[in-house]
Amino acid sequence: MEACIYKKFGKENVLEWVDGWPKPECKPDSVIIEVAAISINPKDALLRKGKFSRTLARDPLPRLTGLDGSGVVVEVGENVSRIEVGDAVFGMTNNFSGGVLGAFAEFKETEVAKAPGTISLVEAASIPLAAQTALQALRDICGISRDKKVLITGASGGVGHFAIQIARRLGAEVHGICSTDNIEFVSSLGANCIYDYKKNEPVAIDDQYDAIFDAAGRYEREYFSKQLGKNGIFVTTVPTGKSLLSELLARLKVRIKNRLVFVHSSHKDLNQLSDWVDSKKLFTHIQKVYDKNEIVEAHTQIQSGHTRGKIVVSTQPGAASDIDPDA
Ligand SMILES: NC(=O)c1ccc[n+]([C@@H]2O[C@H](COP(=O)([O-])OP(=O)(O)OC[C@H]3O[C@@H](n4cnc5c(N)ncnc54)[C@H](OP(=O)(O)O)[C@@H]3O)[C@@H](O)[C@H]2O)c1
């Protein structure tokens, strides 16, 4: 089959489409989908550069790129009960090294759910990794519910633009941090208050929060000690030696207020997101849909660190022109 792979670690141009890559085998608990589109995440670029290759991402080279996406099921394993051939699904692989950007991709049944019925498969592809990260950080780690106040950094990015909306859905008062150009966009997501990090250092924010979700992964708990006090929870998205140690201490119940989210794909969370999308309580903003031959450009864009919402690579000819980011 056709597949987008890298044979060595390096810059964007190590990515190439090849023909004759083996089609994935359908295991008893798996489904095979014909891929419609995948989303591009900062982690795709990190994996391509060789990050985590001695720890969590040990799959050998050459490797397929891609972590989350959408498509139509063409095969199901003998133990699969929720999904049928012909279903349109969206999901994320829990294989840390990724591997979904081919003509076909294998997912565990538990990593996918039926795609929202009210949006296209190209739009659905943008949701699984970034929105599950936001949901799991806010609901499971921050314990966001009614009467809580949360501050979200990177409020206009892939994770952040879902986080602002999800925190509102969970009933919280939501404040966001973004750059000047994104203030109007973050306001349209429902943020109650917005801070422009280009104009003022967030350390100067004169407010108190139950939780700060550092979706941008640019800060540390100590930076926000005034805004969090003793009891506020800080959650970062970026695994570093320090944040991994903090997360270990939290899981050992030694110091529980400094956390790291590790997104895990779950069909229950995908179903929740799908319900919100179909009931117009959550939307995805796609800055651009790239054609599959523009994979290098898509990686260059995600590496800018300034994508508004999500970017997606479509494997279907013509899909790239169907989405209007300003609609
Ligand atoms: N641990 C996990 O499970 C997990 C899961 C998903 C993502 N992540 C990580 O989370 C991070 C964000 O992912 P993403 O998909 O949201 O990335 P993204 O779409 O590229 O968004 C990056 C965001 O960072 C903001 N930003 C850039 N420079 C900044 C600065 N100097 N100060 C404050 N904010 C700044 C950008 O806002 P402006 O454009 O307004 O500057 C943008 O909103 C990445 O590091 C990613 O690897 C981790």
Residue with tokens 């795709």: 44
* 187-194 CB contacts, 8 Å cutoff, 24+ apart: 189/155, 189/161, 189/164, 189/165, 190/164, 190/165, 191/152, 191/155, 191/164, 194/155
Could you tell me the pLDDT band of residue 33, with boundaries at 50, 70 and 90? very high
What pLDDT score was predicted for residue 318?
A: 72
Distance 187 CA to ligand 1 centre (A): 18
Q: Note the pLDDT of residue 324.
A: 67
What pLDDT, on a 0 to 100 scale, did the predictor assign at position 327? 60
pLDDT of 49: 98
- What's the pLDDT score for residue 10? 98
Distance, in Å, from the CA atom of 313 to the CA atom of 261, rounded to the nearest integer, reads: 25
Alpha carbon of 85 to ligand 1 centroid (Å) = 36
| pLDDT tens for each residue of 97-147 | 999 999 999 999 999 999 999 999 999 999 999 999 999 999 999 999 999
- CATH number for the segment(s) 3-126+284-321: 3.90.180.10
Burial of residue 83 (number of CB atoms within 10 Å: 0-12, 13-18, 19+): buried
User: Which of 186, 213, 224, 237 has the most ligand 1 atoms within 8 A of CB, as the residue to mutate?
Assistant: 237
Instruction: Give the start-to-end residue ranges of the domains of the chain.
Output: 3-126+284-321, 130-260
Q: Residues 38-55: pLDDT tens digits? A: 999 999 999 999 999 999
What mean pLDDT, rounded, does the chain reach? Answer: 96
Measured from the Cα of 305, ligand 1's closest atom is 20
The CA 23 to ligand 1 mean position distance, Å, reads: 33
192-239: pLDDT as tens digits = 999 999 999 999 999 999 999 999 999 999 999 999 999 999 999 999
267-278 and 128-135 are packed helices; what angle lies between their axes, rounded to 10 degrees? Answer: 100
Evaluate whether the domain defined by 130-260 bears CATH number 3.40.50.300. Answer: no
Mean pLDDT of 305-327: 83
Q: Give the per-residue pLDDT at 303.
A: 98
Pocket of ligand 1 (CB under 6 A): 41-43, 129-130, 133, 153-154, 156-160, 178-179, 182, 197, 215-218, 237-238, 261-263, 302, 305-307
Q: Which of 183, 203, 261, 306 for a ligand 1 pocket mutation test, highest count of atoms within 8 Å of Cβ? A: 306
